[in-house]
Amino acid sequence: MAMSALDRCRHFGVTNIRGIAYMPGPTDYHEGAPPGTLYENSDFYNNIFEDLWGYTNPNGMGEQGRRDLYRYKQQLGIKFIHCYDWAAPVTQVDQNKRLLTFLTHTVFLRVCDSLGMKATVPVSNYTMMLLSEGKADQARANIEKVFVEAYSDSPPSCHGPPSRRRNVEDLQRI
């Protein structure tokens, strides 16, 4: 007999999940933004968009931005964030041969953790598009960038070492 999702939760002792599917789009966002623009890939969980979901000013000047995550925790008791459109960070070597990384998500994961929330780190549709075009090597490289970012610093929202080992093993099988 097939178990329903609620039956499985009860069976494994998972109760009282308070989660939300969250895509923190800016008020002026619309789909189909031209390539090379700020809204090109609709990944609003990266550090550029901290004003949407963050709640403290990194310069120590008090609160800032929309404070979405803080409000969800305080007003709704949210403990889990289901994310969408998570792009791999972008790396570039500067003129001094230093590796620079842009569009990172570590701050988002740390804000979730500071509020006692867990967050999914999704595989983007871009990866699936690459696979459908027969570009498995590029798809793998894209997933590796996401895994390295999510697990190298071990942001607490990513479930720590046991999940990290399992996910790295999953990646090695791809």
Average pLDDT, the chain: 81
Q: Mean pLDDT across the stretch 142-154?
A: 81
The residue whose two tokens read 């570039």 is 92
pLDDT tens sequence across 82-122: 998 899 998 889 999 998 888 999 889 989 988 999 898 98
| CB atoms near residue 161 (< 10 Å) | 9
Q: What is the pTM of this model?
A: 0.75
pLDDT tier, 58 (very low <50, low <70, confident <90, very high otherwise): low
Residues 6+ apart with CB under 8 A from 52: 24, 25, 26, 44, 65, 66, 68
Q: What local confidence, expressed as pLDDT, does residue 54 receive?
A: 84
Name which of 85, 109, 123 is nearest 158 in CA terms. Answer: 109
157 pLDDT more than 90: no
| CB atoms near residue 93 (< 10 Å) | 9
Highest mean pLDDT among 11-20, 43-52, 62-71, 133-142 belongs to 133-142
Name which of 81, 84, 91, 83 is nearest 142 in CA terms. Answer: 91
Q: What angle do CA 109, 88, 112 make, to 5 degrees?
A: 10
pLDDT tier, 160 (very low <50, low <70, confident <90, very high otherwise): very low
